[in-house]
Structure 1
């Protein structure tokens, strides 16, 4: 089966969720907490996810919608590849490659930010006549500290097909340049532990899959963004990110799963990409 959520489906679900939140979360009086919403649209020079290269020499457009109320939130996110890369053919490709739905809850207790949730990844292969891509489901928990650099540890567990654990440690710091512009710097490091050599194997020095299971430090990311508040509700966010392997095993795996070169060992294992996001928040 191909992904069950298309471009039309994305916007239909977004509108339905928006309406449900606004109707069910309308405050009974002015003092009660109000629902929040964020609608954003990103245009990026590449799509790199957890060290995996998922686009090649094309602009990707990623719409996102988040509605929240009293710690609960629902997000719908999608990826549109304007020129998807197909290894054996330039024709009959799928531009809409992914739709994710995330349900989450967050709570602040003193210095701690606690969270958890569920993610459904509806995936599609770049070639409509090619091999189907299995959808994925994850549950996750996170613990963050309200202190310098805001360190946050998030643990993801895949529960449907790609049996693995993904541990992500992130830090960030924001510098207020003036009342409208700020500079945000962020860094993250990850560890990936596979429980299935078929769906997530270890790769050898030639960037080819083996019969082993991947278990090692994985990808690191450095990101700089410059949020600019154009109006009370609208923010423009230019950004740039650098993704790189944290171990030799990760380097081989990121090459093996990449798409840039014809020979796996010649593919890239680090990536630099950037773009801009337009966000409307209320």
Structure 2
């Protein structure tokens, strides 16, 4: 009888211990997970050195019979960007839009332009909007400033519409529609294709066109379809941070007014546009 009592007590005690342990396990609160750290935002950017056989800006030839060196540096943080860009003409000669001889620089090496661009970009799903300011510190013509806005839609050809408004010296509006696409060709090497078309609207007296009857720039202000460009190149990674980008561009006028001459004089006060081939390469260090 005593044995039975002892056995029953032992069973009761074991059940109590097991039950207590079970409820203790069930009552134990779940371990809190450590909060995930948000990715650290840092300054990104690039340092670029470009070498080309010509400098062409919106179809205008700004060098001849030389090569140009174009250094640039860009830094970006939380959508804000700042870019410094420069141009060095190795052997300056006159063109229909560029007159180093007027500054006693004909046949000389000339660091003739530095531009500063400040911008902010905001993305909305596939749409990116950018607004900004450009200061053109040009030595071969009067300095000027622009405000701009652009919109890019992230589909196959990445169409980009940009509107630039000169606000100081050469008041006018330049509208450009461009497309670009990169095709993988081997490992990380890509074939980069692009095209663009520009339309210009001159707004102040500077843009009055040439009239043969008066022998001067007294006509209506220059406006119309202006410049076209197609290009092809490669991006060739050398390291994770350094790449080599050879490129070829073909520029051409988009209208008869853009290429118009009256005798030897350009109809457009900024110079007529011709067909121009530009070849060269960029060396890019990204950080």
TM range (shorter): 0.7 to 0.9
Secondary structure (helix, strand or coil) at the match of 2:260 reads helix
Residues 82, 116 of structure 2: 8 Å contact kept: yes
Partner Cα separation in structure 2 for residue 50 and residue 239 of structure 1:
17
* Structure-1-length-normalised TM-score: 0.78
Residue 170 (structure 1) aligned with residue 178 (structure 2):
yes
State which of 252, 261, 266 in structure 2 corresponds to 1:256. Answer: 266
- Does the C-alpha gap of structure 1 residues 38 and 108 become closer, same or farther in structure 2, counting only changes over 3 Å? same
Secondary structure (helix, strand or coil) at the match of 1:226 reads strand
Runs of 4+ in 1 over 6 A off after TM superposition: none
Secondary structure (helix, strand or coil) at the match of 1:160 reads coil
Counterpart position of 1:213: 221
Counterpart position of 1:277: 282
1:1-282 counterparts in 2 under 5 A?
31-85=39-93, 86-87=100-101, 93=108, 95-125=110-140, 133-196=141-204, 198-203=205-210, 209-252=217-260, 256=266, 269-282=274-287
Partner Cα separation in structure 1 for residue 87 and residue 42 of structure 2:
29
Deviation at 1:212, TM superposition (A): 1.5
Residues 52, 257 of structure 1: 8 Å contact kept: no
Counterpart position of 1:23: none
Partner Cα separation in structure 2 for residue 208 and residue 244 of structure 1:
26
Deviation at 1:93, TM superposition (A): 4.6
Deviation at 1:107, TM superposition (A): 1.2
Residues 184, 225 of structure 1: 8 Å contact kept: yes
RMSD of the TM alignment (CA)? 2.5
Residues 257, 267 of structure 2: 8 Å contact kept: no
* Structure 2: stretches of 5+ with no match in the other structure: 1-36, 94-99
- Does the C-alpha gap of structure 1 residues 257 and 225 become closer, same or farther in structure 2, counting only changes over 3 Å? farther
* Structure 1: stretches of 5+ with no match in the other structure: 1-28, 126-132, 259-263
* Structure-2-length-normalised TM-score: 0.77
Moved more, 209-218 or 184-193: 209-218
Give the aligned length: 238
Deviation at 1:180, TM superposition (A): 2.5
Partner Cα separation in structure 2 for residue 177 and residue 208 of structure 1:
53
